């Protein structure tokens, strides 16, 4: 039986190679690229574990249903397979939505991100405030809006619409004040709202980290960075560490100089990151992230 299966496989393989031409190679390359992109978008998410289980079941089902001695099992596989294929979009709907949002934010080919002059002018104030908050061990969660509108999250907080200054941020995040518990959202050089509610991350990044000092602020920072293109600054209340989060990735233990360099890179991207390189960096931030991030 095994010899017959191997012989049949080799015959099919020889038949495929005989019919192979340039159009077939292009066809296979396109299909491979599509699967590669899908796997990159799902990489390091909870969906990848479920996807492995589904693929394993499909392979085992295909192998077992090929035996003529198992007609009942073959009937079961052929009956349930269409239902399984229709259920995949439902099971993976959050990951599919996240991937489509990432592709939509990537923009058109050749259109790089425009530097925000107002946001660049506010970076010095943000760095000064973060360092002073860190020295005082006052926890802070600052969300910097980029291309994607954060109106949905602005509605959960208190509107301020004030110019960003270190003194204002220190006052907002002073312990036991009405606005300290929640996130501040900044657009350009304006502090648009405070005490905003952010979605919590369910990716499991923090559980895989060797350090356990990261709590709800860090989960919220990861959560908003996973569903939007925002850049998030987190100051730990326990340790005073300053972190920057973007695209579900976290860079921890930043000093003032490195923090300022990272923020200026985000809001004033170099010319090398425009065009095709910029498009790929925005589609797959996992492949173009700075070193030192928590995996």
Domains of the chain and any CATH numbers:
2-106 (no CATH), 117-271+282-294 (3.40.1700.10)
Mean pLDDT value across residues 214-220: 86
SS3 140: strand
Q: Would you say residue 45 has pLDDT above 60? A: no
Q: Can you tell me the distance from the alpha carbon of 245 to that of 289, in angstroms, rounded to the nearest whole number? A: 11
What does the mean pLDDT of the chain come to? 76
Q: Can you tell me the distance from the alpha carbon of 276 to that of 56, in angstroms, rounded to the nearest whole number? A: 35
Q: Residue 237 gets which letter from DSSP?
A: T
Q: Would you say residue 126 has pLDDT above 90? A: yes
Q: Can you tell me the distance from the alpha carbon of 24 to that of 96, in angstroms, rounded to the nearest whole number? A: 28
What are the two backbone dihedrals, phi and then psi, of residue 166, each rounded to the nearest 5 degrees?
-60, -40
Q: Which of 202, 209, 212, 168 is nearest to 186 (CA)?
A: 168
Say which residue, 293 or 175, is predicted with more confidence. Answer: 175
Contacts of 259 (CB under 8 A, 6+ apart): 127, 130, 233, 242, 244
pLDDT band at residue 290 using 50, 70 and 90 as cut-offs: very low
Q: Would you say residue 282 has pLDDT above 60? A: no
Quick count: other Cβ atoms within 10 Å of Cβ 23?
Answer: 8
Contacts of 270 (CB under 8 A, 6+ apart): none
* pTM attached to this predicted model: 0.59
Q: Give the pair of three-digit tokens for residue 23.
A: 């159009």
Q: Can you tell me the distance from the alpha carbon of 76 to that of 6, in angstroms, rounded to the nearest whole number? A: 25
Q: What is the pLDDT of residues 65-108, one digit of tens each?
A: 666 666 776 777 677 767 766 776 676 666 666 666 655 555 43
Q: Can you tell me the distance from the alpha carbon of 45 to that of 250, in angstroms, rounded to the nearest whole number? A: 15
Q: Can you tell me the distance from the alpha carbon of 288 to that of 295, in angstroms, rounded to the nearest whole number? A: 14
């Amino acid at each position: 039986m095994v010899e017959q299966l191997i012989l049949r496989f080799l015959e099919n393989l020889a038949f495929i190679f005989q019919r192979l031409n340039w159009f077939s190679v292009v066809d296979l390359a396109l299909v491979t690229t599509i699967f590669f992109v899908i796997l990159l978008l799902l990489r390091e998410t909870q969906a990848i574990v479920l996807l492995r289980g589904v693929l394993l079941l499909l392979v085992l089902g295909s192998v077992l249903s090929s035996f003529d001695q198992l007609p009942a099992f073959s009937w079961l596989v052929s009956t349930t397979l269409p239902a399984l294929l229709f259920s995949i979009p439902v099971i993976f709907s959050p990951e599919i939505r996240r991937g489509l949002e990432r592709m939509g934010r990537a923009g058109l080919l050749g259109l790089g991100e425009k530097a925000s002059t107002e946001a660049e002018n506010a970076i010095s104030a943000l760095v000064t405030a973060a360092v002073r908050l860190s020295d005082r061990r006052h926890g802070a969660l600052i969300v910097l809006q980029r291309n994607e509108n954060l109106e949905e999250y602005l509605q959960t907080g208190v509107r301020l619409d004030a110019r960003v200054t270190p003194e204002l941020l220190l006052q907002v995040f002073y312990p036991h004040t009405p606005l300290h518990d929640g996130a501040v959202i900044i657009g350009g050089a304006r502090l648009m709202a405070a005490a905003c509610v952010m979605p919590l991350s369910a990716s499991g990044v923090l559980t895989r980290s060797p350090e356990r000092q990261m709590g709800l602020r860090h989960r919220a920072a990861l959560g908003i960075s996973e569903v939007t293109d925002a850049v998030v600054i987190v100051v730990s209340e326990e340790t005073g560490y300053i972190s920057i989060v973007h695209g579900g990735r976290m860079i921890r233990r930043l000093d003032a100089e490195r923090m300022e360099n990272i923020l200026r890179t985000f809001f004033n991207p170099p010319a090398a990151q425009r065009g095709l390189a910029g498009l790929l960096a925005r589609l797959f931030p996992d492949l173009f992230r700075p070193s030192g991030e928590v995996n």
